[in-house]
Amino acid sequence: MSVFVIIPVHNRLAFTRACLASLREQSFRDFTVVVVDDGSTDGTHLALATEFPEATVLWGDGDLWWTGAMNHGLGWVMPRAGRHDHVLALNNDTALPPDYLETLLGVAKRHPIALIGSVAVSWDDHERIVDGGVRIDWRTTRSTSPATGLTWSQTEEHLGEAVPVSVLSGRGTLIPVEAFRRVGLYDQERLPHYGADWEFTRRAQRSGFELLMSYRARVFSREDATGPRPSAQTLSWRQFVRAYVDVRSPNNLRRRWNFARLCAEPSAFPLFLGVDLVRTVGGGVRRQLGRPHATTR
């Protein structure tokens, strides 16, 4: 059983160096690193060729975004992967403890028909969980996390090794190669950046795969390394509106429409979409009205 680690990157060379350095320290060694450098302008491509020659570096033109970069990496991996191999979807703004891959594969061996997600803890506080898995009521959009109120050390006692969830992110998810062969790649056309990881895992679940969150396998996550979002900072009104149309924003309204259409139960789609849009736009407007505005330039 081999693992192909696919890491999409665009600039942020220091992040990528730290991520790849942590992969070098893994106790499990049968893995291949595939970095998809989507048009970086900070010297990433040349630096990785010199400093991490063991990694395969693929090149993009800057328009792949997350989904296209993952699919570009999968295009290289799939002809080389065996039936029992796995793909690890990983972001470059993470780092891993040395037993990470060994731990994650141990869970996968006990759950062979499953996609296994990793619990994300704060880069600065390894006990504080920033993503402990998501359970979604597809009728109402209500989301909960099994790990709410728990520290990382408490999760095994309260939750065990792994628990079922509704979706999994691209921030450390181990995926059987057979899942891609059964359901296809990520939806690059309709979900070019945010949401494609959740949609793919939802599609895999509908095809018979389990979705499990492992609380033994953790990634150290830089919480502030995300795209623009209306709730994250003080914005001018122009910036606020842009956050609902920017491809880098998780609150992009077109993306949310597509996600709802692809993932919600068909009978619940109108309600799911309506509730989601009210929460996304209405909540953003309330937050925007309740804080000082940045100067528009």
Hey, how many other C-beta atoms are within 10 angstroms of the C-beta on 242?
Answer: 16
Q: Which helix (H) or strand (E) holds 179?
A: helix 177-183
- At 278 the pLDDT is 87
Strands 143-144 and 135-136 come out as antiparallel
* Contact (Cβ atoms closer than 8 angstroms) between residue 253 and residue 244: yes
Q: What homologous superfamily does CATH list for 3-221?
A: Spore Coat Polysaccharide Biosynthesis Protein SpsA; Chain A (3.90.550.10)
- At 292 the pLDDT is 59
- At 276 the pLDDT is 87
pLDDT in tens, the chain (297 residues): 899 999 999 999 999 999 999 999 999 999 999 999 999 999 999 999 999 999 999 999 999 999 999 999 999 999 999 999 999 999 999 999 999 999 999 999 999 999 999 999 999 999 999 999 999 998 888 999 999 999 999 998 899 889 999 999 999 999 999 999 999 999 999 999 999 999 999 999 999 999 999 999 999 999 877 544 444 456 687 877 888 888 878 888 999 999 999 999 998 899 898 988 888 888 777 777 776 554 443
- At 229 the pLDDT is 47
- At 296 the pLDDT is 41
* Contact (Cβ atoms closer than 8 angstroms) between residue 56 and residue 34: yes
Q: Which of 222, 210, 201, 217 is nearest to 152 (CA)?
A: 217
Domain(s) labelled CATH 3.90.550.10 in the chain stretch across: 3-221
282-288 long-range contacts, CB within 8 A, separation 24+? 283/231, 284/230, 284/231, 284/240, 284/243, 284/244, 284/251, 287/230, 287/231, 288/230, 288/235, 288/237, 288/240
**The pair of three-digit structure tokens given for residue 81, joined into one six-digit string:** 């992967």
Q: What is the pTM of this model?
A: 0.91
